[in-house]
A and B are shown apart, each in its own frame.
Chain A
Amino acid sequence: MPDVRLVNVTKKFGKIVAVDNVSLHIYDKEYFSLLGPSGCGKTTLLRLIAGLIQPDEGEIYIGDRLVNDVPPEDRDIGFVFQTFALFPHMTAWNNVTYGPRVKGFDVRKAETIGHEVLEMVRLHERLDAFPNELSGGMMQRIAVARALAAGAKLLLLDEPLGQLDAKVRNELRYEIRRMTKDLELTAIHVTHDQSEAMAISDRIAVMKKGKILQVGTPQELYINPQSIFVAHFIGESNFLEGYVSNISGKTTIIELRGGIKVQAVNNKGVKGGEKVLLAIRPEIFTVEKGKKEDKNAILGRIERVTFEGTNVRYEIRLKNQDLIVIVKPSLTGEWFNMGEEVTVSFPTEKAHVFKYPDVGLKEEIAVE
């Protein structure tokens, strides 16, 4: 069964290290996403698994088989390209049945498979059309159907929804997941869209500069990011600079700019006196009008209010001049006005403390 194992895999293009000593285990029947900004090496990693490029170092296993020297056609994979890569000189139907035909299946069997996968992608119209006559959504369905028809148990998807508009993208991402689960496939999905990865993945690997920073379920990555980059890239975070003034058991007292003292849970091993960053999700904060005294309460003033439909977004200038963003449900919560004085507070256990990065915050969270 196709679990995928990468052991110390490295791929260089000239002096650029696209994939840097990556080890990873993707389980059988798992929907796994490789998530990261452009140029992080996620597509290169996917192409290494597909055999479209060869690793400079390391080993790649599909199932129990070492596939480093196995050509792509013998890896039993289905690959969905970002640009669809539908053969322009073949009709939709011929594209879909291409895999079974080149594998030598008889015509009747190839046609049966073709109809089955088209049923699955819910597309039975316009099969005589050529790719340039189809809409983006149709082309993507055909591309997925083509990959499925090849009979592979491992589906590799390279930004498969990147060229579609938002509405179609949202519909198709759930459909692709449903199909892979129905067929009990292992799927590896490359994307730079964290909401897409969060919505459909069993597990996600977050990549940056050729390395994997963290692997986990969407919840794990969101609730317990292990690095500043993950905290920033998955969802949204407010970063407040400060120094560790005291450590008491698991609790750390941090002195922010302006002498404001707050508490957070120290689960990253920071030391007393160390410069740190406090990462707090925007929806964690409680906001109250006026000045209030409470644990982790900071006085501030609302600088901007943005109505976003589901949520209202507040930009608040704290009294120490740090700027934070807070998001509140638009229909169920209290509304605040621009210029209003408010007190914000957050629960100790939901604030993450990270050692301040040597390269600076801007460089640490840069996505390019």
Chain B
Amino acid sequence: MPKKLREKLDRLSSKPMVKYGVYLTSVVLFFALILLPPILGIIIKWSAMGKVLGDGELVARILNAMKNSFVIALLVSVLDVAAGIPMAWFITRGRSKWINFLDTLADVPFIVPTAVLGYSLLLFWHKPDGISAFFGGSIVSPGWLLVALLHFTFSYPIVVRVIVGALLDYKIEYEQASRTLGAPPLTTARTVTLGIIKPSLIAAFILAFARSISETGATMMVAGIFENGPVFIQNMKNAVSAQPPQVSQAVYEGSTTLASIILVIVSCLIFAVARILGSRLGVPIKKAWPTLERKLSYSSATLLRNITTLLIFFIIVLIPSLFVALPAFEALSTDALSKALAGVEPWTEYWQSLVLSYSLGAVVTLLNVLIGLPMAIIVARKRLGNLSSTLNMLVDIPIIVPSVALGVSLRFFWKETLAFIPDIWLLIFAHLAITYPYLVRSMSAAIERIGIELEEASRTLGAKPLGVFRTIIFPLTKYSMFSGAIMVFTRSVSETGATLAVTQLKTAPVVLVGWVKGKVVATSLEIGLGCGFLILISFIILLALRLVVRGKGRY
């Protein structure tokens, strides 16, 4: 940036009107684009629910789908946290030189688009070429168990990442103090470490729960006839779009509104209960079993724990996530690759969708940084007084709304208020809403970790507010910003449910869902190759970003 322009912007930033103008614009955009549209979208269609409530069969179907959603989400979140703790422990406390490699591997399911992940799991657990080959039949057929396995897999990296972060930030002195007081390692972990990082465990639980409740695209791949909330909404959407329509527009609107409201309200209640009860729920620190816990702390018990942890990771998470790559390799030795590169059907649509996905991801990431950064500062530094605390709570709401419900209500809202709005903007708004909390959360946490005295020191040395950001906050938080941006980008590229609900535009995950569901004729080699391209390109982009900041921090 030219020096003169920089100085001018610095000077401008010290004017209260400009400073608060930026903050208020950020708040207004948050309400106008992210928070209110999906809520108003539901409210607009509030009356439509009346047409559904009288239909006992439909209501029962909705309630059953809701029950399925919450049971799966609860089960998966608890199991994810239970499996994530020993893995995070292994990563942070392990001394092997392979730990960093393992740490990176733990991120892999996060970079695989969820729709592809769903297909990969379907191949691994169900199709004859997968693990079933060893057992002479399908191990896990599409249905609730495969959905649970899928949700466990895609939530696992998030949970591990959150707990690893908590364990890295945690002061090791507490553990040392406990050991010097006579507690063996297991007692120490149970009574001290887990107690102290409990807020992070709750956060991990909530994130896993929210992801499970809101995931649509991948779930549809493996659900079979099983129906949870998001799958129900998608099925209703398919039914109303069918030729001829299988349900009326009114039933579609009423049932999806009802399902969305139940999902949002019950999710909010569960999160509130998790936060309130979680803070009161103590690990049993008043009781210790010295002899037993000492035995379980050392040698064979520790080895067994580590082996179990790694087996769960490799067999349930990593290998099923990457299994889709196998047909892709097979496709390389056939003419499928040349056809794909030549762009013959069905690849023309695929390449266009890939361009759309990555362009959309880039635009959404950029917009998120622009809108989300001031919000992160407002939240972290309480720049707007009491309003900051309220905003702090509201920021999380988009993450708990099921993506397909969010897409449906966004479409209701924008098409009712601005009918002429292009679909691409609807798509951008939907992805913006879904990904916004990831960037704001990672940035606000990073800013909170920087002592306010550093900012004050910078100001007393003559820096203007923008200068403080440029020279102090940004250099110290850029890895968190990369981290947030990567989460936003990958989440946008892999998002399926909201995309399907909000628009007819086809992103890569939507095209792949169509192939898998047989809406477009594609062979298994082509599906594998399509998934492989998506994983490969995502991996290359992430690797390139990693190399940009190589050796200077982890994100």
User: Residues of A with Cβ closer than 8 Å to B?
Assistant: 50-52, 71-73, 75, 77-79, 81, 83, 85, 87-90, 94, 98-99, 101-104, 107, 146-147, 150, 156
Question: Does B299 lie at the interface of the complex (its beta carbon under 8 Å from any beta carbon of A)?
Answer: no
B417 to chain A, nearest CB (A): 48
Q: Which residue of B lies closest to A99 (CB)?
A: B181
Asked if residues A102 and B196 are in contact (CB atoms below 8 Å), the reply is no
Nearest first, the 5 closest Cβ-Cβ pairs linking A and B are A79-B180, A102-B183, A99-B181, A85-B177, A104-B290
- The chain B residue sitting closest to A79, CB to CB, is B180
Q: Are A87 and B196 in contact (CB under 8 A)?
A: yes
Chain B neighbourhood of A50, CB < 8 A: 176, 180
Given known A-B contacts A83-B173, A85-B173, A94-B285, A52 and B195 have beta carbons under 8 A apart: no
CA–CA, A103 and B293, complex, Å: 11
Known: A102-B181, A103-B182. A85 touches B171 (CB 8 A): yes
Question: What are 13 A-B residue pairs whose CB atoms fall within 8 Å in the complex?
Answer: A50-B180, A51-B179, A72-B180, A73-B183, A83-B173, A88-B174, A89-B196, A98-B191, A101-B285, A101-B288, A102-B183, A150-B181, A150-B182
B 167-190 to A, binary, CB cutoff 8 A, 1 in contact else 0: 000010110111111111101000
Q: Is the CB of A102 within 8 A of B178?
A: yes
Is B285 a contact partner of A52 (Cβ separation < 8 A)?
Answer: no
* Structural contact, A102 and B182, CB atoms closer than 8 A: yes
Contacts of B289 in A (CB 8 A): 104
Known pairs A85-B177, A103-B182. 14 more at Cβ < 8 A?
A72-B179, A77-B180, A79-B181, A81-B177, A87-B174, A87-B177, A88-B174, A90-B285, A94-B285, A98-B181, A104-B288, A104-B291, A146-B177, A156-B180
Q: How many A-B residue pairs have CB under 8 A?
A: 87
Measured CB to CB, the nearest residue on chain B to A146 is B181
Alpha-carbon distance between A294 and B286 when the two chains are bound, in angstroms: 75
Task: For the complex formed, measure the closest distance between the CB of B359 and the CB atoms of chain A, giving whole angstroms.
Answer: 47
Task: Bin chain B's interface residue count.
Answer: 20 to 34
In the assembled complex, the Cα of A94 lies from the Cα of B282 at a distance in Å of 13
| Contact indicator B180/A73 (Cβ below 8 Å) | yes
**CB–CB A79/B195 < 8 A:** no
Q: Residues 244-279 of chain B: 1 if any A CB is under 8 Å from the residue's CB, otherwise 0?
A: 000000000000000000000000000000000000
- A77-B177 Cα distance, complex, nearest whole Å: 11
Contacts of A81 in B (CB 8 A): 173, 176-177
Question: What residue of chain A has the Cβ atom nearest to residue B289's Cβ?
Answer: A104
B176 touches A87 (CB 8 A): no
Q: Tell me the bound Cα distance from A88 to B290 in angstroms.
A: 23
Determine how close the nearest CB of chain A comes to the CB of B179; give it in whole angstroms: 4
Whether B290 and A78, one on each chain, are in contact in the complex, defined by CB atoms closer than 8 angstroms, is no
Q: Any chain A CB within 8 A of the CB of B198?
A: yes
**Complex Cα gap A83–B183 (Å):** 20
Alpha-carbon distance between A156 and B181 when the two chains are bound, in angstroms: 12
What residues on A are CB-neighbors of B291 within 8 Å?
Answer: 104
Q: How far is the CB of B301 from chain A (nearest CB, A)?
A: 14
Give the distance in Å from the alpha carbon of A234 to the alpha carbon of B196 in the complex: 41
